[in-house]
């Protein structure tokens, strides 16, 4: 077993044993089981087929949706060290299971019904069906999950390694076009031959050598505490774009061009100031149906946006 896998597995075991673990991923120490962004709302603004993509996203959904759109040169950079193992577990599950069994294996909250959680999540019978494909895709990921599933109850693993931020089926189906049956079945083959690259690290500290046609920074933006950090992140990521490349600077919840900034919002939502500090990059807002489309009281809160810039 390589050193990185041994360390990650050991830390995951400690966490499942309720022991404190020193890790560098702070508030992102738990993975997102599924995306909490409406990826379908923005994905078609990016040229993905035969182009490259650098993205964060511990749920793996950014990568899986990009593969669904025939993007084949993908790097997943995330601060959470278990991201790679979860991506391969999800990919092997799509390849090995029909869509209902996939949901039964990986969905937990509000599944199969709202207000009922799925106590068959990560069940061992379904893991046994996925295990062979997982071994073929990435042996380290097989070792990681096989060891955890043999030591702990599935719910314990779900609780300790994943956050509780999981949307309902109606939303997840809208966010992820791979969750429609035709796309899901077509994806099985693509996932066998498209091999993403993985980097575990902080986007602010990690040296990245490749240049990309597309970079997605998901919703890191709302977690940044000041404008200097927003500028630092954008400067660094813009410098990694190929000519004409597109940078998704931040996903913005419940935001359109008319949304008024309130002092309790994170700085990235102060669009006037953000446009000013990033003026050299000419950022623009692209707006689409938001994740809270079905539970918002005000029309503007039903929309989300991405802040985007293009390398000239
Ligand atoms: C802010 S979180 C929110 C989840 C996200 N909206 C999604 O749909 O996956 C975005 C992702 O960025 C990762 N992340 C946060 N800060 C990071 C950083 N400084 N460097 C690298 N990854 C980071 C988290 O681990 C998480 O997977």
Condensed to tens digits (0 to 9), the pLDDT of residues 202-237 reads 999 999 999 999 999 999 999 999 999 999 999 999
Q: Say what the pTM is.
A: 0.96
Which atom, in ligand 1's list, is nearest to the CA of 203?
Answer: 20
According to the model, what pLDDT value does residue 27 have?
83
**Cβ–ligand 1 contact at 56 (below 6 Å):** yes
Judge whether 196 and 74 are in contact, CB under 8 Å: yes
The finding on whether 28 has its CB within 6 A of some atom of ligand 1 is: yes
- Measured from the CB, is residue 37 less than 6 Å from ligand 1? yes
State the pairing for strand pair 303-310/241-252: antiparallel
Tell me, using a 6 A CB cutoff, whether residue 32 lines ligand 1.
Answer: yes
Q: Which of 169, 172, 310, 154 is nearest to 245 (CA)?
A: 310
Which pLDDT score is estimated for 293? 78
User: Cα–Cα distances in Å, from 226 out to 216, 231, 255, 277?
Assistant: 20, 9, 19, 11
CA of 150 to the centre of ligand 1 (A): 29
- Ligand 1 neighbour 202 (Cβ under 6 A): yes
Q: Does 35 sit in the ligand 1 pocket, CB within 6 Å? A: yes
Write out residues in the chain with pLDDT < 70, as ranges: 296-297
203 lines ligand 1 (CB under 6 A): yes
Q: Is the dihedral of CA 44, 48, 52, 53 positive or negative?
A: positive
Atom number of ligand 1 nearest to Cα 202: 20
Q: Give the DSSP H or E segment for 99.
A: helix 99-106
Does residue 220 have its Cβ closer than 6 Å to ligand 1? Answer: yes
What spacing in Å lies between the alpha carbon of 125 and ligand 1's midpoint? 31
Residue 9 near residue 147, CB atoms below 8 Å: yes
Burial of 46 (C-beta count, 10 Å sphere; 0-12/13-18/19+): buried
> In the prediction, which pLDDT does 22 show?
77
Residue 140 C-alpha to ligand 1 middle, in angstroms?
22
- Gap from CA of 221 to ligand 1 centroid (Å): 9
CA angle 266, 268, 270 (to 5 degrees): 85
- Atom of ligand 1 lying closest to residue 83 CA: 27
**Span from the CA of 75 to the centroid of ligand 1 (angstroms):** 14
- Angle at the Cα of 303 (from 172 to 187), degrees rounded to 5? 30
Mutate to test the pocket of ligand 1, among 218, 255, 290 (most ligand atoms within 8 A of CB): 218
């Amino acid at each position: 077993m390589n050193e990185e896998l041994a360390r990650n597995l050991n830390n995951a075991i400690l966490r499942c044993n309720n022991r404190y673990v020193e890790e560098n991923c702070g508030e992102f120490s738990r993975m997102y089981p599924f995306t909490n962004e409406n990826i379908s709302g923005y994905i078609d603004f990016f040229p993905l087929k035969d182009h490259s993509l650098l993205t964060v996203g511990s749920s793996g959904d950014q990568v899986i949706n990009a593969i669904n759109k025939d993007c084949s040169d993908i790097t997943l950079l995330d601060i959470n060290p278990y991201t790679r193992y979860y991506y391969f577990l999800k990919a092997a599950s799509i390849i090995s299971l029909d869509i209902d069994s996939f949901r039964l294996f990986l969905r937990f909250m509000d599944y199969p019904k709202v207000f009922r959680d799925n106590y068959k999540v990560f069940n061992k019978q379904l893991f046994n069906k996925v295990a062979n494909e997982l071994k073929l895709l990435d042996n380290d990921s097989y070792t990681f999950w096989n060891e955890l599933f043999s030591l702990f109850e599935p719910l314990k693993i779900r609780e300790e390694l994943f956050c509780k931020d999981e949307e309902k089926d109606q939303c997840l189906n809208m966010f992820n076009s791979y969750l429609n049956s035709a796309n899901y079945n077509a994806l099985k083959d693509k996932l066998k031959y498209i091999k993403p690259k993985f980097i575990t690290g902080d986007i602010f500290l990690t040296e990245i050598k490749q240049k990309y046609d597309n970079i997605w920074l998901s919703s890191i933006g709302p977690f940044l505490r000041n404008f200097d950090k927003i500028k630092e992140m954008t400067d660094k990521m813009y410098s990694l774009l190929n000519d004409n490349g597109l940078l998704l600077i931040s996903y913005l919840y419940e935001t359109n061009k008319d949304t008024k900034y309130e002092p309790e919002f994170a700085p990235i939502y102060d669009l006037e100031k953000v446009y000013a500090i990033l003026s050299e990059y000419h950022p623009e807002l692209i707006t689409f149906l938001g994740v809270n489309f079905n539970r918002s009281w005000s029309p503007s809160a039903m929309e989300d946006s991405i802040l985007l810039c293009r390398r000239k």
